[in-house]
Each structure stands twice: as C-alpha cells, then as structure tokens.
C-alpha cells in the first residue's frame, strides 16, 4: 500500500494490467462465461465496499442499497430512453448523489460506527419495503412500472454506444464487465495513491488527529462514501444487464450481508481481497446450490463466523505472505493492523 514513488506506481499499474488481462482472457477457457460475468459484477460490488470500509473505515451495512439503486436506475432510464448508454452513466451518478446526501446527513451529524451501521441498514430496508409495495399501476416513473415484488423486466440491455440494436449479452457482456472491473480497479488504485486516498487512510486510522491537521473529515468521508456508491451503482447496472430483470431483493439484508462477507473473507485493507472474496464465496454458493443436503445460508453464515474467529484478516494477506515466502522469503510483506476496530494483530 505504500506506493509513494512514481516508479512503483507505474509498476503496480503494469502488474495489474498484465495479470488482469491474463485472467480476463484465460478464465473463459476453464469456466462458463455466464457465471464468470456474475463473479466479475460481484467483484466490483465487493470492491466498492472494500474501498470505503477497508481504506476509509466506513462500515456500511446497506451497500446493497446503492447496488439496487444502480440496477433500478439502469432499468427505468433504459425503458424511458430506449437505449443504454446514458442509463449506464446515470446508474453511477444517481447512487453517488443519493450517497452524498445520506453521507452528508450522517457524517455532519458525527455519528459513530454502530449508528452508521444502523442508519445504512435502515436506509436499504426502507427502499426494500417500499419497492415491494409498488405493484399497482399508480407506481410509474415515466414509462416504467416499478412492478412491486416482481420488479421490472424487459428493459433495453447493454448496447454498443450509439447503436441501440447492437445489444451485448453472453460472451461480449462478459468481456465488457471484466474490462470495466479492471478499469475500476485501476481507478481505485490511483485514488488510493492520490493525496485524497492517503488522507482517507489517515482518517481511518485516527479521525481526530487528521481533523487537527486541518482537514475537513466530514466532507472527505462524504465524498469517499459517494464514490463507493457510484462503483456499487455501476455493478448494479451491469447486474441488471446480466439478469435482464431487477427485483427488490437486490436491496435485501441478505444481499448487504453477502457483500460484507466477501470483504471479510477476501481481506480488508487490500484492493484484491474483496474481489477474490466475492469470487470464492459466490462460487461456493453456486456449487452448494446444486445439492440439497446443506442449506446455502447455513454455510455462508458458518464461513462468516469462522473467518471472524480464526482468520479476521482474510485470505489476501495470507496469500501475500505465501507468495513472499515462495519467491525467497527475504522480503517480509508489511503486516498492517487490520482496519476494523480492535482486531488483534496476527
């Protein structure tokens, strides 16, 4: 994470691009692209929470709300506009704007961790409840009926910009989503190297001290929260394009819980961890879906409990240590305190 010089930044970018390109091109050889698309989308969603929680110290229990908002914006705007380029942009901007409002409301009120968790959780619950009641014909936005519990089907899918009839699905959608994830990943890396990102990490470490250095932490946290929401919104739009339907379950508590599980399993305070966590947990979930012995949620819950108890820093730091050991072991990876409150070192 200590990426201070331009040279190491360039090297970091190079490594990410090369590894990313290899993965994007290589994975379809071993797995089904339909499932890979979902993993990529969830990876992006995990990255959005990993950014604000792992680096900004903002634990949002309702990140699914912004995912859902992005998906609904994509669907509703698509139906009204008739193509998907502008809706894709809106599906980033709308959640970001909503998060900026909600964030300002919370951060300028100096709410502590737990209270932040309650408000974000309640916020997604309100959206979930309300959307479930919008079944009647009275609930329309432009030409789009909200459809209550059943959600909105039949909106324009992702298309080549300017050519509404060239819709992207199947393999092309996978490549678009995977490249989008790679670009978002690079942007997040750049953000974390920037002054804004480094000060955000300082705020995670010691809010009061950073404010005594003259930084307005309320504004900075609000902006970071909005950026995270924008990324979640983009993931939501891609999800809508993949699933071809949006339903209120996108806003559910279980969806929010899963995002948190991905981050914990992968490793907080790392960029790659949450993406990896999303891929691993979702693969496990899909595999389990094929059998009837064990319930899905039982296993997900067990994974969360076991990680919190025994591996609170997640997989990524362990992999990094393994890697360092494998290539010679003279360079010990920097072990940092886990960003969550009070996790013992080790």
Partner 1 sequence: MDLSVVILIEVLYAIASLALISAGLAVVFGMMKVINLAHGEFMVLGGYATITAVGLGVNIFIAMLIIAPIVVGLFGLVVERLVFRHLYGRMIDTMLASWGLSLMMIGGFKMIFGNTTTGVAGPIPGFSVGNYQVNGYNLFVIVVSVLLLVAMVAVLRGTRFGLVARGTMQRSDMAAAMGHSPDRVYMTTFALGSALAGLAGGVMAPLVGLVPTAGAAFIAKAFITVIAGGPVLVAGLASAAGTFGLVNQVFSFLVSPVVGDVALLVAAVVLLRLIPRGITSRFFRGRI
Partner 2 sequence: MAETVLETEGLTMRFGGVTAVDGVSLKVRARELRCLIGPNGAGKSTCFKCLCGLLKPTEGHVFLRGEETTGWDPHRIAAMGVGIKMQVSSVMDGLSVQENIWMAARRHNDTGAATAKAEEVIDRLALGPIARTDLGRLAHGERQRVELGLVMAQDPWLVLLDEPAAGMTGEEVTRMAEIIHEMTRSAAVVVVEHDMQFIRSLASTVTVFHRGRVLVEDHVDRVMADPVVRDVYLGKQA
Q: Which stretch binds partner 1 (CB under 8 A): 3-11, 13-21, 275-283, 288-296?
A: 288-296
Residues touching partner 2, count (CB under 8 A): 23
> From residue 186 to residue 225, what is the string marking binding to partner 2 with x (rule CB under 8 A)?
---------x--xx-xx-xxx-xxxxxxxxxx--------
Contacts of 128 (CB under 8 A, 6+ apart): 248, 251, 252, 253
Are 87 and 237 spatial neighbours (Cβ–Cβ below 8 Å)? Answer: yes
3-state secondary structure (DSSP) of residue 245: strand
* Subset of residues 191 to 220 that bind partner 1, contact rule: CB under 8 A: none
Told to check if 296 binds partner 1 by CB under 8 A, we report: yes
Query: Using CB under 8 A, which of 19, 31, 136, 337 touches partner 2?
Result: 337
Shortest CB 25 distance to partner 1, Å: 35
Closest CA to 146 of 234, 237, 79, 63: 79
Q: Which of 202, 230, 195 is nearest to 217 (CA)?
A: 202
φ/ψ (deg, to 5) at 141: -120, 105
Q: Residue 288 binds what, of partner 2, partner 1, none (CB under 5 to 8 Å, by partner type)? A: none
According to DSSP, the residues that pair with 160 across neighbouring strands are: 163
Site stretch for partner 1 (CB under 8 A), options 15-23, 182-190, 228-236, 297-305: 297-305
Tell me: does residue 285 bind partner 2 (CB under 8 A): no
- Please identify which residue in 284, 299, 311, 324 interacts with partner 1, judged by CB under 8 A: 299
User: Looking up tokens 């309320």, which residue turns up?
Assistant: 218
C-alpha dihedral sign at 268, 110, 255, 257: positive
The Cα–Cα gap between 65 and 71 comes to 10
Measured between alpha carbons, how far is 9 from 160 in angstroms, rounded to an integer?
32
Q: Return the residue matching tokens 């009926």.
A: 145
Asked if 339 interacts with partner 2 (CB under 8 A), we say yes
Binding of partner 1 at residue 168 (CB under 8 A)? no
d(CA 37, CA 29): 14
Residue 8 binds partner 1 (CB under 8 A):
no
Instruction: Give me the 44-83 binding string for partner 1, x by CB under 8 A, dash otherwise.
Output: ---------------x------------------------
Q: Residues 273, 261: contact at Cβ < 8 Å?
A: no
Residues making contact with partner 2 (CB under 8 A): 2, 4, 195, 198-199, 201-202, 204-206, 208-217, 336-337, 339
Residues making contact with partner 1 (CB under 8 A): 59, 105-106, 109-115, 117-119, 121-123, 125-126, 129-130, 132-133, 253-254, 257, 260-261, 264, 294-305, 308-309, 312, 340-343
């Amino acid at each position: 994470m200590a990426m201070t010089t331009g040279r190491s930044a360039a090297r970091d970018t190079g490594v990410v691009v090369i590894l990313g390109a290899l993965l994007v091109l290589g994975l379809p050889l071993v797995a089904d692209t339909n499932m890979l698309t979902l993993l990529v989308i969830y990876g992006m969603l995990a990255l959005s929470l990993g950014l604000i929680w792992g680096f900004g110290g903002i634990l949002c229990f309702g990140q699914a709300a912004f995912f859902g908002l992005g998906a609904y914006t994509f669907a509703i705007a698509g139906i009204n506009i008739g193509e998907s380029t502008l809706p894709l942009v809106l599906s980033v901007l709308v959640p970001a704007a909503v998060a900026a409002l909600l964030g300002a409301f919370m951060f300028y009120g100096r709410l502590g961790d737990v209270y932040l968790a309650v408000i974000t959780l309640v916020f997604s619950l309100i959206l979930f409840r309300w959307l479930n009641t919008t079944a009647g014909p009275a609930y329309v936005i432009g030409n789009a009926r909200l459809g209550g519990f059943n959600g909105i089907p039949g909106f324009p899918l992702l298309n080549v910009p300017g050519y509404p009839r060239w819709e992207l699905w199947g393999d092309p959608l996978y490549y678009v989503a995977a490249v989008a994830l790679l670009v978002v990943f690079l942007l997040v890396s750049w953000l974390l190297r920037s002054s804004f990102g480094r000060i955000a990490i300082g705020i995670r470490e010691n809010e009061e001290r950073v404010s005594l250095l003259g930084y307005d932490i309320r504004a900075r946290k609000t902006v970071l929260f909005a950026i995270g929401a924008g990324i979640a919104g983009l993931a939501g739009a891609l999800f809508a394009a993949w699933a071809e339907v949006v339903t209120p379950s996108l806003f559910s508590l279980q969806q929010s819980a899963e995002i948190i599980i991905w981050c914990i399993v992968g490793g907080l305070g790392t960029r790659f961890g949450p993406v990896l966590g999303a891929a691993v947990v979702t693969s496990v979930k899909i595999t389990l879906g094929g059998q009837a012995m064990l319930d899905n949620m039982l296993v997900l819950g067990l994974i969360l409990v076991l990680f919190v108890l025994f591996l609170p820093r997640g997989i990524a730091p362990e992999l990094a240590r393994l890697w360092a050991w494998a290539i010679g072991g003279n360079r010990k990876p920097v072990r940092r305190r886990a960003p969550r409150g009070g996790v013992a070192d080790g």
